[in-house]
Amino acid sequence: MRSGVVLAAVLSVSTLACSKSAPEKVDLGPAALGAATASLDRAATAAHTGEFNPRLLRRFKPVREILIDGAPGSAEQVALGRMLYFDKRLSKNGTQACNSCHPLDNWGADGRPTSAGAEGALGSRNSPTVYHAAGYFAQFWDGRALSVEEQAKGPLTNPVEMGLKDGAHVESILRGIPGYKPLFAKAFPGEAEAITYDNVGKAIGAFERGLVTPSRWDAYLKGDKNALNAKEVEGLRVFTNVGCMVCHTGEFVGGTMYEKVGAVEPWPNQVDQGRFAVTKNETDRMVFKVPTLRNIGKTAPYFHDGSAKTLGQAVQMMGRHQLGLELSDEEVSSISAWLDSLTGDLPREYIKEPALP
């Protein structure tokens, strides 16, 4: 019956969960959990016949080609953003670029528990992937920036990342490289001084909005029922039935809300209090952005503190700490199999390292 209770929560909060404009915590308290369970039987029956309940599938969406609601950046902005993304001169000692911690040919993550910055000092958090980040409702584990354009300015001047002094320092480095002047002028026409810290963020953001990796999961959502094998469909069924989808939902199977890590069973590592550091609200202690699960099979280790080495371990911990469930080895294995179907194809041409000016 455990899945009945949790599925009711899935159904009762799902409208909120899908709404990008509602970056609030979803109430997972007894009231939500105790909501009507009538839909469970229908959902499960549908799943057992191999046809997945279309009402549940609608909680997910195939990934778009470009992650922007309005007009995309120009081709010149994208090309400039790609150069800036790879340019190590934008760090204190010329050793770090965005691509150092978010290597695009490695699904945008560096494979370390936490990342080393320009001076070798370790940051305190795991590097999340940059693929699909442009589509989230907020950036960083704690949501302290909203858009990728805003986010991109952060690492340049973060002392444990690229370590430049401030925005003026970024601008002076770029103005000292003659080849950048015409590129900025073309990307931002009509601006008297186009080399600005803001425009650096805009160009990198324009590039990041094209970082998407469509996968077999997208083919399945678009109607190709053979795109997933039986074990993967079973994994999807377990994922939705036990309640993972309450939090991991939508186009990115995450990236739509904040939630407490350790919602049921306290998280082992309480050093980083997450969103509390941003808002100072007691209710935000241990609250983090629910991350995407796209490409999750490729971005180990897991969690803000890098505390899970393998995907199976991460799934097990989520069951225990978020849902109060001890998932069986079989459940963990089928969920992991479905998660692997979310691994997409890298856009090899788009992410090719460009010649720098």
Task: At 56, give phi and psi (nearest 5°).
Answer: -75, -40
Binding to ligand HEC by CB under 6 A, coded x per residue (else -) over 279-318, reads: ---------x-xx-x--x--x--xxx---------xx--x
In the window 173-232, what residues touch ligand HEC (CB under 6 A)? 204
Q: Which of residues 73-112 bind ligand HEC (CB under 6 A)?
A: 96, 98, 100-102
Residue 31 or 222: the one with the smaller Cβ distance to ligand HEC is 31
| Phi and psi at residue 259, to the nearest 5° | -150, 160
Query: What is the 3-state composition of the chain as percent helix, strand, coil, each rounded to the nearest 5?
Result: 45, 5, 50
Backbone phi, psi, residue 273, to 5°: -90, 10
Which one of 80, 148, 173, 221 is in contact with ligand HEC (CB under 6 A)?
A: 148
Give the single-character DSSP code of 327: -
- Residue 127: CB minimum distance to ligand HEC, A: 4
Give the CA dihedral 108, 121, 259, 287, nearest 10 degrees: -170
Any contact of residue 72 with ligand HEC (CB under 6 A)?
no
Element (H, E) at 18: helix 2-18
| Number of other residues whose CB lies within 10 A of the CB of residue 268 | 10
Q: Is the CB of residue 199 less than 8 Å from the CB of residue 187?
A: yes
Q: Does 250 bind ligand HEC (CB under 6 A)?
A: no
One residue of 156, 233, 346, 351 binding ligand HEC per CB under 6 A: 156
CB of 190 to ligand HEC, least distance (A): 25
Measured from the CB atom, the residue of 77 and 190 that comes closer to ligand HEC is 77
Q: Which stretch binds ligand HEC (CB under 6 A): 14-22, 46-54, 128-136, 341-349?
A: 128-136
DSSP assignment string, 212-262: ---BHHHHHHTT-GGGS-HHHHHHHHHHHHHTGGGTS-BTTTS-S-EEETT
Q: Of 222 and 277, which has the nearer Cβ to ligand HEC?
A: 277
Question: What is the distance of C-alpha 257 from the center of its chain?
Answer: 11
Strands 258-260 and 287-289: antiparallel
Indicate the residue among 131 and 220 with the shorter CB distance to ligand HEC: 131
Q: Does 241 bind ligand HEC (CB under 6 A)?
A: no
Closer residue to ligand HEC (CB): 2 or 222 = 2
The Cα–Cα gap between 81 and 184 comes to: 10
Does residue number 43 form part of the binding site for ligand HEC (CB under 6 A)? no
Catalytic residue from among 149, 161, 232, 251: 161
Active site residue 161: yes
Q: Alpha helix locations (H) across 19-94?
A: 30-33, 39-48, 54-57, 75-86
Residues that are catalytic: 161
Instruction: Return residues touching ligand HEC (CB under 6 A).
Output: 28, 96, 98, 100-102, 115, 117, 123, 125, 127-128, 130, 133, 136, 139-142, 148, 151-152, 155-156, 161-162, 204, 242-244, 246-248, 259, 261, 263, 288, 290-291, 293, 296, 299, 302-304, 314-315, 318-319, 322-323, 335
